[in-house]
Amino acid sequence: MAAVSMETARSDSAAKNGGKLRLAPNYWPFVIPALVVIAAVIVFPWVFTLWMSVNSWTLGQPVVFAGLDNYVRLFTDFRFWESLWHTALYTLLAVVAPLFFGTLAALIFDAQFPLRGFLRGIFVMPMMATPVAIALVWTMMFHPQLGVLNYLLSLVGIGPQEWIYNQTSVIPSLVLVETWQWTPLIMLIVLGGLAAVPREPFESAEIDGANAWQKFRYLTLPMIAPFLMIGVIIRSIDAVKSFDIIYAMTQGGPGTASETINIYLYNTAFSYYDIGYASAMAVIFFVIIVALSFVLMMVRQRANWTDVETR
């Protein structure tokens, strides 16, 4: 009966369309090119990387199947664990510092004062510069003898610093550059949140006698928390894979003091030509990034951002 009903419906549809049966449109011819591009650009490189990671392959030598030897080697490689620590420290500082200063800048630029729009435009200019150009300028500024930063410190009675030329201060110095470049991004994100904040709760708080800190702590901060979390996600993923500024300024030095996992991976592949071991490192690094992204997204989804704490 169902088949008869379908045939009847098709006959009625064909009769309504002048005796011609209209078929459902087929979208696959438009989808297949995109699938081919995705497979060629994303899927194939990762499959090839996985294949290389289970082989011992040094450029100029034959490929030899190694199984999990490259992964086992990672667990005993002190330099790999050191690069992981440098990556974690760099990422933490490069997220916290722009988040703090970006939020502070957003609160300042949210107020009404003359030339606010012009100053906003000046403030976001570091985002437009290329990383290599930024690295070259800051390298000159960090020079122990000729750099302008040590000259400015001398004006207030502080002695010269070694900045990126010292193993202790190299990562904080690199984070300073990262903060200078990406604080405007956090500012723009938080400004969007501040623009969406309703004014009625603040008016009620003023009537109740709340001061500026109480209004920020119990009203502004909970309301802009979703935007802050977006900034944390963007900055975390970007900082953990940072390469260009670090490589252009220090190449992982002095020694290996600023060698993040990206720098170590690059040196292993293109300086030591150990492609198999570098591929295993890339796979582990990809797993770390996916895990970090998953944790951040879970926090973003599970947290209750809509309730404003009242006390």
Does residue 123 contact residue 105 with C-beta atoms inside 8 Å?
yes
More confident position, 141 or 34: 141
Does residue 207 contact residue 139 with C-beta atoms inside 8 Å?
no
pLDDT of the residue at 199? 83
Within-domain flag for 36: no
Pick from 238, 124, 236, 245: nearest CA to 173: 245
pLDDT of the residue at 4? 44
pLDDT of the residue at 173? 95
CATH number, domain of 189, equals 1.10.3720.10
pLDDT of the residue at 222? 87
pLDDT of the residue at 175? 95
pLDDT at 299 over 90: no
CA distances (Å), 163 to each of 45, 85, 92, 167, 222, in order? 38, 20, 19, 9, 37
pLDDT at 21 over 70: no
**Residues near 173 by Cβ (< 8 Å), separated by ≥ 6?**
142, 163, 164
Q: How many residues does the chain have?
A: 311
Q: Can you give the residue range of the structural domain that contains 206?
A: 78-283
CA distances (Å), 77 to each of 53, 72, 190, in order? 16, 9, 41
The 10s digit of each residue's pLDDT in 253-298 is: 898 999 999 999 999 988 888 999 999 999 999 898 888 888 888 8
Distance CA 236, CA 183 (A): 13
User: What's the number of domains the chain is made of?
Assistant: 1
Within-domain flag for 124: yes
Does residue 308 contact residue 218 with C-beta atoms inside 8 Å?
yes
Within-domain flag for 41: no
Within-domain flag for 160: yes
Within-domain flag for 250: yes
pLDDT of the residue at 304? 55
Within-domain flag for 13: no
pLDDT of the residue at 219? 87
Q: What is the mean pLDDT of residues 220-234?
A: 89
Within-domain flag for 214: yes
Q: What is the mean pLDDT of residues 174-198?
A: 92
Distance CA 300, CA 311 (A): 24
pLDDT of the residue at 308? 44
Does residue 131 contact residue 238 with C-beta atoms inside 8 Å?
no
CA 258, 262, 263 angle in degrees (round to 5)?
50
pLDDT of the residue at 263? 94
Within-domain flag for 35: no
Cβ-based neighbour number of residue 278 at 10 Å: 23
Query: In 233-271, which positions are buried (b, 16+ CB within 10 angstroms) versus exposed (e)?
Result: bbbbeebbebeebbbbbbebbeebbbbbbbbbbbbbbee
